[in-house]
Amino acid sequence: MTDRKPCKVCNFTRQKSYGLVVPSLDDLKIKGCEFLGFSSGEPVTVVLEDDGTIVQDQAYFLCLPPNTKFMLLHEKETWSPGCRMDGGTAWMARDSMVLEADTVDSSSAAARWWHLAQQLKQDLASIILMSEADLQTLVEAPCPELASAMGFEEKKAEDLQETLQGVLDRREEERQSKELLQLYLKAAVKEDQQQEVPSQPSQEGAGDVEVDAVEVDSASGFMSRTLMVLKGKTSPETRLSTEELQMVVTRGMEAMEKVLGWDRRRTSALLQACEAELTGRLQQVQAVQSIRSNTQLDREQRAEEGVEKPAQGSN
């Protein structure tokens, strides 16, 4: 019999974490689902909590050290680095960090971009997962300090900030295109849309109101600013982080109807948009990871060939 291995499991928000002892990867899935309150019939993916490596092989599982922490993911959930702050739309699981309302000054702003810089230093592909608030915080960071935090030359940091601004610009272009299409559809079906048009100006205005970045709405569990984006911004799915999109999609139709106070048709449209945006981002991340894996494999093969040639020459 295989020795039992002590380990830890958590959900994708990292809000729930449990210690358990299991002999195999399959047992980890079964007991982990029980501890985390997952339905027994739902398929889950096991990844390493610290870097998101997918764990599928029993032999690899057995090689991991005791007390390794695993994350269990449902189909529409994805791993993202922990311990980050994102300037206004931070994931609620990290809001346990106490930030006094009257101390949000230049030092806390610096802390925000520094933590984001460390996230990018670990994996540049996380650009895809960031909210617009994340990206804007990094764009506005002092270039010399950003270069130092990431271990870059200043010119490379400037190029990075230009890239981040380009991502922001593309998201804005996507929104403008959607808005033009929506205006066309409203004109084409004017009578059908008249009841919704008057409510839009007040919502748009509400979107400009600054809300405490770390305030959590107790009734819904969402960040107050996240709710503001969902209710008052055009194409909110392009403004949210991937984690926030996951939370919206995971909550489902009935829960989001109550949270937003919308009818089913409008809520359904939002959920579909969020799910499409989430799927697109995850596909981009998978593409980057695939390219990275292939590049690493090519390097290893070239290195092996380089070792073999001198050995043959010596014979």
Domain boundaries, the chain: 5-73, 103-269
CA angle 19, 22, 24 (to 5 degrees): 135
Tokens of 218: 């107790």
Q: How far is Cα 139 from Cα 158, in angstroms, rounded to an integer? A: 9
The pLDDT of residue 23: 92
CB under 8 A, 24+ apart: contacts of 59-66: 61/5, 61/24, 61/25, 61/28, 62/2, 62/5, 64/5, 64/7, 66/5, 66/6, 66/7
Q: Are 79 and 71 in contact, with CB atoms under 8 Å apart?
A: yes
* 157-to-1, 142, 170, 230 alpha-carbon distances in Å: 53, 10, 20, 32
Cβ neighbour number for residue 127 with a 10 Å cutoff: 20
The pLDDT of residue 77: 80
99-115 in b/e form (b: 16+ CB < 10 A) is eeeeeeeeeeeeebbbb
Contacts of 22 (CB under 8 A, 6+ apart): 4, 5, 7, 28, 31
The pLDDT of residue 120: 84
Q: What are phi and psi of 159, to 5 degrees?
A: -60, -40
Q: Regarding the domain delimited by 5-73, which CATH topology (the fold level of the hierarchy) does it fall under?
A: Ubiquitin-like (UB roll) (3.10.20)
Q: Which residue has the tokens 């991937």?
A: 242
As a dihedral over the C-alpha atoms of residue 113, residue 114, residue 116, residue 118, rounded to 10 degrees, the angle is 160
- Please give the helix or strand (H or E) that residue 19 lies within, else none: strand 17-22
Burial of residue 31 (CB within 10 Å: 0-12, 13-18, 19+) is middle
3-state class (DSSP) for residue 82: coil
Its pTM surpasses 0.75: no
The pLDDT of residue 9: 94
The pLDDT of residue 69: 92
Q: Which residue has the tokens 């994340």?
A: 134
Q: How far is Cα 300 from Cα 51, in angstroms, rounded to an integer? A: 21
Q: Which of 82, 64, 75, 76 is nearest to 28 (CA)?
A: 64
Q: Are 89 and 223 in contact, with CB atoms under 8 Å apart?
A: yes
The pLDDT of residue 315: 52
Q: How far is Cα 35 from Cα 260, in angstroms, rounded to an integer? A: 30
pLDDT along the chain (315 residues), means of 10: 81 86 91 87 87 86 88 82 47 38 48 83 81 88 89 89 88 77 68 53 44 57 83 84 86 89 91 88 77 70 65 54
